[in-house]
């Protein structure tokens, strides 16, 4: 007789220990291959530990609630033949070893660690015969020995129904499957499985966008404030101005009005029109209002800048907005036209959506997001009336802008948009 030692396996990258949450056996209990012995929990998942051998439990190395280090002895099992222990977690097959034919399955007494090594070769997510519960929906649960037998028999384990603990596939399941005759997976006519993976290197503008977004979200504590705006009066005004516009004037969208509303609101709360050098600890409060307009292009997202919006009227804002958008889409925008903004507008209204959480364009401290405009019933005190409602989703750097100031700013913009005549009144 010999003794087989099962050690706490490596249950995930960076995990040095796990909490024992459940024992399925006690000293003196007989165990068989594939039987679940215990369950441990990490900060990511619950992991079940099966037995790779047949035998009798001699000793349990921890109690429920104990924290067990990786590689620490967990269970001792009396087996027929010479003693052994589970392979150390760092024993990983080399690429060369993976190219060799899988070894033929042996009885546990002859080589009890062999099934665990086969498991490491055939599926990377499972280590030393341990299966993470969060992966059950993605692949069949089975011991290394069962997987080896299935591979040698040409059986796709995804077609086998497991009758073991937690749906684990055992040898009896393979016997029944073979007795019935292996049936190929049924694929509906006209549908084919796709296994190709396209690997796209992140370069150029896409890489720059990724770096910018990572910088913004990692360094700026965002606060997002969403408010409904009744755009009915402004839409009536916009329709009238577009109807009466001159041939050389562009068609007005909501954005020029929003730009002018931002200019007026910033006059009341100038701190929103700032940039924050968090390295030097300096807030730069700008008098000029340079509005960045997030623009989708074939190459990715760019932010052309309408400079000195405080000195532009509605039509001038529209002309410059159209010019910059076209330059961005055709790739002809200059560096100066794509940098230097002090506050940004992100407009997803054309795509729908009632709320967004826009990411601040570092080193700015505020961004205003435009959402879908839709007709909704609004109670006017006596009845419900149809009104054109749009949400503004605005994010602020909470290190610089307090929640009260953020809300006050958005409310000021709301007032201006709901009473568009105020946009045109001289300050």
Told to judge if 24 belongs to the known catalytic residues of this protein, a careful annotator would answer no
Residue 392 pairs with which residues in a beta bridge?
227, 370
- DSSP summary character for residue 158: G
What is the spatial distance between Cα 251 and Cα 404, in angstroms, rounded to a whole number? 36
Annotated catalytic residue within 171, 222, 308, 398: 398
What is the spatial distance between Cα 418 and Cα 412, in angstroms, rounded to a whole number? 10
For residue 303, report the phi and psi dihedrals to the nearest 5 degrees.
-130, 85
Label each residue of 327-347 as H, E or C.
HHHHCCCCCHHHCCCCEEEEE
Tell me which residue of 36, 9, 33 sits closest to 24, measured CA to CA: 36
What is the spatial distance between Cα 59 and Cα 277, in angstroms, rounded to a whole number? 61
Told to judge if 402 belongs to the known catalytic residues of this protein, a careful annotator would answer yes
Would you tell me how many other CB atoms lie within 10 Å of the CB of residue 270?
Answer: 13
Strands (E) across 71-183 are located at 73-79, 84-85, 131-132
Residues 6+ apart with CB under 8 A from 412: 264, 265, 268, 269
What is the spatial distance between Cα 223 and Cα 297, in angstroms, rounded to a whole number? 27
SS3 content of the chain, % helix, strand, coil (to 5): 30, 25, 40
Structural tokens at position 244: 């009466």
What is the spatial distance between Cα 45 and Cα 227, in angstroms, rounded to a whole number? 39
What is the spatial distance between Cα 182 and Cα 150, in angstroms, rounded to a whole number? 11
Enzyme catalytic residues: 398, 402
């Amino acid at each position: 007789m010999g003794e087989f030692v099962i050690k706490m396996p490596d249950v995930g990258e960076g995990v040095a220990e796990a909490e024992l949450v459940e024992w399925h056996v006690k000293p003196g209990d007989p165990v068989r291959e594939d039987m679940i012995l215990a369950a441990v929990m990490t900060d990511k998942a619950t992991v079940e530990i099966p037995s790779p051998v047949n035998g009798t439990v001699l000793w349990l190395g921890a109690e429920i609630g104990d924290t067990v280090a990786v590689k620490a002895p967990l269970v001792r099992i009396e087996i027929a033949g010479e003693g052994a222990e589970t392979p150390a977690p760092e024993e990983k097959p080399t690429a060369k070893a993976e190219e060799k034919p899988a070894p033929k399955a042996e009885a546990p007494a002859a080589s009890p660690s062999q099934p665990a090594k086969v498991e490491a070769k055939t599926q990377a997510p499972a280590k030393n015969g341990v299966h993470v519960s969060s992966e059950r929906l993605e692949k069949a649960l089975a011991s290394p020995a069962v997987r080896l037998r299935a591979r040698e028999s040409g059986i796709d384990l995804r077609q086998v129904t497991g009758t073991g603990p937690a749906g684990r596939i055992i040898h009896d399941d393979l016997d029944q499957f073979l007795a019935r005759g292996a049936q190929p997976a049924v694929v509906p006519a006209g549908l084919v499985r796709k296994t190709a993976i396209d690997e796209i290197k992140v370069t150029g503008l896409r890489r720059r966008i990724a770096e910018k977004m990572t910088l913004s979200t990692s360094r700026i504590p965002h606060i997002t404030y969403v408010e409904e705006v009744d755009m009915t009066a402004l839409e009536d005004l916009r329709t009238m101005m577009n109807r009466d516009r001159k041939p050389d004037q562009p068609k007005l969208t909501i954005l020029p009005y929003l730009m002018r509303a931002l200019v007026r609101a910033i006059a009341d709360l100038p701190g929103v029109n700032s940039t924050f050098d968090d390295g030097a600890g300096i807030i730069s409060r700008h008098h000029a209002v340079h509005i960045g307009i997030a623009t989708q292009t074939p190459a990715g997202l760019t932010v052309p800048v309408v400079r000195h919006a405080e000195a532009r009227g509605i039509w001038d804002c529209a002309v410059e907005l159209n010019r910059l958008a076209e330059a961005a889409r055709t790739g002809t925008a200059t560096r100066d036209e794509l940098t230097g903004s002090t506050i940004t507008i992100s407009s997803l209204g054309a795509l729908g959506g009632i709320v967004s959480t826009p990411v601040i364009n570092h080193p700015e401290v505020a961004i205003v997001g435009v959402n879908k405009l839709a007709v909704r019933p609004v109670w006017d005190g006596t009845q419900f009336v149809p009104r054109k409602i749009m949400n503004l989703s605005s994010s602020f750097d909470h290190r610089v802008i307090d929640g009260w100031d953020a809300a006050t700013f958005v409310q000021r913009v709301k007032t201006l948009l709901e009473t568009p005549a105020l946009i045109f009144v001289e300050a």
